[in-house]
Amino acid sequence: MLDTISLLIIVPVIFSILFVALPKSLYKILAWAFFILGVALSVKLVMDGTGVVPVPESNFAILENIVFVLEVLVILFILAVSLKYKNWPTLGLGIISAAIFGYTYANVHGAEGAAFNIDQFSQIMILIVNIVGTAIILFATGYMDHYEEHRHLNRQKIFYFTMSFFLAAMNGLVMADTLGWLFLFWELTTLCSFVLISYNMDEEGINNGFRALALNLVGGIAFSIGIVLLATNYEISTLSGIGAYAGTNATAMAAVALPVALLCIGGFAKSAQMPFQSWLLGAMVAPTPVSALLHSSTMVNAGAFLVVKLVPAFAGTNLGTAIALFGAFTFVMTSALALSQRNAKRVLAYSTIANLGLIIASAGIGTPLAVAAAIMLILFHAISKALLFLCTGEIEHTIGSRDIEDMSGLINKAPLLTMLISLGMISMLLPPFGVLLTKWVTMEVASSNPIVSIFMILGSALTTVYYVKWLGTILSTTMDKNAVHHQKPETYFPLSFLGLCIVATSILVFSIYDAFIKPQVATMLNIAPSVTGAGGQFSSEIGTFAYALIFIVIALAILIYYATKNMFAPRMSSYYLCGENSLEKDRLMFRNGLCAYDKSSASNIYLQNVFGESKLTTLGYVISILLIVAALAGGVL
Amino acid sequence: MNSFDILKIVLVLIGAPILGCLIAGIDRKLTARLQGRVGPPLLQPYYDVVKLFKKDNMIVHPAQNFYVVIYVVFVILSLLMLVFGMDMLMIIFVYTISSVALIVGGMSTGSPYARVGSSREIMAILSYEPILILYALAIYLLTGTFKLSALSTLSSPLLAYIPLIFISMLFVMNIKFKKSPFDYSTSHHAHQELVKGMLTEYSGPGLGGIEIGHFYEYVFLLGLMFMFWSSNIIIGLLLAVIAFLFVIIMDNITARVYWQWMLKVSWSILLIISIANILIVYYFYFKPA
């Protein structure tokens, strides 16, 4: 198994070097090869089974030195760029990070060995990172030329290098058990994110890149203080060690609460939870494949991943309740903010933060079923959100805008693309798809805490509203077909592949649960959730989600539609515009009161003056910071 | 699934539209009397549907009738799930599919009137969906499960525990029946608007299908009210009748207001009394497992 683990880190690094070494004309072949290898390696890891894999002692010393050198390089890089661009807050945070690193190196007794921990959760993350991730890189080969052409850029070597290198770091992050190594991978993903956000090298990109870097450094500092506390006070140097130490023992849980809370804050920053959310919104200036890969399906999940891994250390405690409240609050707040946005990428960014909040909330609830829901939501959300982001990018190339209002009539211009993005949206808000199933589980498990469940109920209604609005807009017809649309295999293959993944994972939801989630929760909390899957129903002790029934009824509805379609021969007619149509110009033109011609139009409701960013953001900051302080206070007391 | 269940399904499939049709007929008759008119025959909604299916299938968008099928099928499914006492939260999500289908169907036509109507209907979702889910949450807090079949284990009827949610649900009925003052998305009254909002571009068989869907939906919605006293069928039905009369009277004594007003009323008064009710249930009746 160690071979597969090392390959999962080495192969992406090799590809990142290949992308730099080889000419642009070979990128498509490289990306296909990377995709196939990524699928093969991640499947291989799943086949290898689970277990803790220690690094052989003979290699440990060398690897530890490599880790040390890389950590120093990371810090030097941060200091250098912040000096170069005179970004003093980032420089200050970099110096603090360096000081903590120096302190750790000098005073904290280093670990004797290192290990990778491959559990079912890591396997799921590896599958997401290497299958969805490489599919996104494949999409990028059909996307970036057009993107750069518009912006007069020529930095694709840096783009592919960083994207591939990021996959290596992300693979390391989800597999590493040693906290020191985990932290290195954590910081490496932050750096990749910084490089890719400032990809356009304009003022906006660089500023937003620094904001992401600074906020993630804040999280990183909390993370590293947590590591130092764990190592000096409890001699814990592995992630699995925290859970093992806390066990189900209330006193031990209370003892490690403060470092655990600090690690969670690191996770909140990475997952762009409420006081940190601005970096993810700023990150939307990056090319769409970056948003799909780092800022929705993989890197931001690392924060939620960490919080879920820490569940054994806070399940059932006050800290857990504070985390649940915090996540649920972020969910409702960012869902409200998403409602007021017209920019599709911002809607998706807020929706990503909201869903990560939901994951963190279910982790905070900490019952076996809640943890199962959290892990499943990470999986389903990653697939749906990757598809939504990539489709948005492709829409932008098709119609030249990412404003939702400009997307009306898309079904006429790019039918396949519209079907795919509709599938993505429907999977986010309606049964029988996986995201809704996990949302349903989350709402049911949250119901023993009324405040958390009220937050979730409001957030869920808001989610329905902002997606239905968008869905209706792209499916509406405005009859003009003037957009030129190119269908390239390297863009449409990843899109269709992700669409198929959504349907397949939703149909196989119970098998996925049985194979991955159930054993994972059983090892984490010593009890498996009591869920049965008989007859295509996902049933727990408090409710039943009949997903197979819905799939059957959808099939039935399609059948009924096609059976009855020919009974009523359709006759196309024009819009009803109160008899004032002007058909010779455009079917939406009408004659107004001055006998001139006007084009009729209608737009969606955004409630800017209620849910707008200027109205809600400050409130969000205040309450979320209070909740974090409460979580920390809960940790100390 | 035994033969009794199949009988139940058949009964719902056939009985519900008949009942819904009668409800719609009574509505029109009562409304006419309240307005000092004689009104149409009781079976007028039935004659309307029959006639609609004989009309030409005029469409502006090839797929617009697909959404009608989705709407009708999922309304029927949510009604069946209600009859079989399944998971309330799940029923609400299935019911959302049908509401979304109608909204997207309206928008898919591209007509500006339909798009305005659909946008308003989306705002209606924002107004009523939290209350519906709070209703489901109350059922969980009282019985320990979201399954409606567990309501029979309660010692008192649901109404005794959640009277405030009952009041909110009356307004939800008003919104979902698309009756004045909440009929912004599409109205039953000619005097309220010149163009039929969300359903502007639907005519002939498409509109007939929507009408049939409405029949099922009326039964489903009144079924939700029936659940407040499901242990006694007569009182349960009485609650449904009261809700129905409330909707009709409100329809006739109020005029349409802005959709913003609906949102304000529901997110302030209705949501707050419902949440207060949930907190009362939580502190006095909820027994953690």
Tens-digit pLDDT profile for residues A592-621? 778 787 777 778 888 888 888 888 888 888
Q: Distance between terminal CA atoms of chain B? A: 30
How would you classify residue B83: left for phi > 0, otherwise alpha for psi between -120 and 50, otherwise beta? Answer: alpha
Q: Stretch A526-552: mean pLDDT, rounded?
A: 84
Amino acid at A161: F
Give contacts of A563 with chain B, Cβ < 8 Å.
none
Residue B255 pLDDT > 90: no
CA angle B122, B222, B167 (to 5 degrees): 75
Q: Which of A105-109, A221-225, A292-296, A319-323 has the lowest mean pLDDT?
A: A105-109
Query: Nearest-CA distance from B243 to chain A in Å?
Result: 24
Q: Which of A7-21, A43-57, B62-76, B187-201 has the lowest mean pLDDT?
A: B187-201
Contact status of B100 with chain A (Cβ, < 8 Å): yes
Q: Mind giving me the DSSP string for B147-216?
A: BGGGGGG-SS-HHHH-HHHHHHHHHHHHHHTT-TTS--SS-S-TTT-SS-GGGTT--HHHHHHHHHHHHH
Q: Which of B5, B51, B82, B93 would best serve as a mutation to test chain A binding (most A beta carbons within 10 A)?
A: B93
| Interchain contact, A602 vs B77, CB within 8 Å | no
Tens-digit pLDDT profile for residues A49-94? 888 888 888 888 888 888 888 988 988 998 888 888 888 888 888 8
Q: Stretch A515-525: mean pLDDT, rounded?
A: 88
Closest among B111, B86, B192, B137 to A549, alpha carbons compared: B86
Residue A635 pLDDT > 70: no
Question: Quick one: tokens of A166?
Answer: 């990021």
Band (pLDDT 50/70/90 cuts) for residue A110 is: low
Q: What is the DSSP letter of A532?
A: B
CA angle A8, A14, A19 (to 5 degrees): 125
b/e string for A593-610 if b means 16 or more Cβ within 10 A?
eeeeeeebebebbbbeee
Backbone angles phi, psi at A286, to 5 degrees: -70, 160
Q: Tell me the CB-side half-sphere exposure of residue A343, using CA atoms within 13 A.
A: 11
Band (pLDDT 50/70/90 cuts) for residue B192 is: low
Amino acid at A611: F
Residue B18 vs residue A314, higher pLDDT: B18
Question: Quick one: tokens of A171?
Answer: 């693979």
Query: Nearest-CA distance from A358 to chain B in Å?
Result: 17
Per DSSP, the three-state class of B41 is coil
Nearest to B59 among A458, A473, A572 (CB): A572
Tens-digit pLDDT profile for residues A454-469? 999 999 999 999 999 9
Closest among B250, B255, B252 to B32, alpha carbons compared: B252
Tens-digit pLDDT profile for residues A163-178? 999 999 999 999 988 8
| Residues 55-84 (B) with a CB less than 8 A from some CB of A | 56-62, 65-66, 69-70, 73-74, 77, 81
Q: Give domain limits for chain B.
A: 51-284
| Residues 181-200 (B) with a CB less than 8 A from some CB of A | 194-195, 200
Percent of chain A with pLDDT over 90: 37
Q: Stretch A150-170: mean pLDDT, rounded?
A: 88
Band (pLDDT 50/70/90 cuts) for residue A503 is: very high
Query: Nearest-CA distance from B283 to chain A in Å?
Result: 10
Which residue in B has a C-alpha nearest to residue A446's C-alpha? B137
Mean pLDDT, rounded, of chain A: 87
Band (pLDDT 50/70/90 cuts) for residue A114 is: confident
The C-alpha atoms of residue B241 and residue A404 are separated, in whole angstroms, by 43
Beta-carbon contacts of B13 under 8 Å, excluding residues fewer than 6 positions away, are B76
Percent of chain A with pLDDT over 70: 97
Per DSSP, the three-state class of A486 is coil
Contact status of B208 with chain A (Cβ, < 8 Å): no
Which residue in B has a C-alpha nearest to residue A556's C-alpha? B73
Question: Quick one: tokens of A140?
Answer: 């990028």
Residue A387 pLDDT > 60: yes
Query: Nearest-CA distance from A259 to chain B in Å?
Result: 30
| Interchain contact, A553 vs B74, CB within 8 Å | yes
The C-alpha atoms of residue A520 and residue B226 are separated, in whole angstroms, by 43
Q: Which of A339, A568, A577, A590 would best serve as a mutation to test chain B binding (most B beta carbons within 10 A)?
A: A568
Question: Quick one: tokens of A422?
Answer: 């509709």
Give contacts of B279 with chain A, Cβ < 8 Å.
450
Q: Tell me the CB-side half-sphere exposure of residue A301, using CA atoms within 13 A.
A: 31
Give contacts of B110 with chain A, Cβ < 8 Å.
408-409, 476-479, 575, 588
Band (pLDDT 50/70/90 cuts) for residue B60 is: confident
Q: Which of A1-15, A241-255, A410-424 has the lowest mean pLDDT?
A: A241-255
Q: Is the pTM of this model over 0.90?
A: yes
Q: What's the confidence (pLDDT) of residue A60? A: 83
Q: What is the DSSP letter of A1?
A: -
How would you classify residue A56: left for phi > 0, otherwise alpha for psi between -120 and 50, otherwise beta? Answer: beta
Residue B121 vs residue A246, higher pLDDT: B121
| Interchain contact, A444 vs B89, CB within 8 Å | yes
Residue A113 pLDDT > 80: no
Residues A431 and B93: beta-carbon distance below 8 Å = yes
Residue B22 pLDDT > 90: yes
Residue A242 pLDDT > 60: yes
Residue B243 vs residue A628, higher pLDDT: B243
The C-alpha atoms of residue A386 and residue A367 are separated, in whole angstroms, by 29
Query: Nearest-CA distance from B237 to chain A in Å?
Result: 26
Q: What's the confidence (pLDDT) of residue A446? A: 87
Contact status of B121 with chain A (Cβ, < 8 Å): no
Residues B156 and B261: beta-carbon distance below 8 Å = no
Residues B105 and B67: beta-carbon distance below 8 Å = yes
Residue A351 pLDDT > 60: yes
Residue A636 pLDDT > 70: no
Q: Which of A232-246, A263-277, A515-529, A570-584 has the lowest mean pLDDT?
A: A570-584
* Interface predicted TM-score (ipTM): 0.93
Mean pLDDT, rounded, of chain B: 90
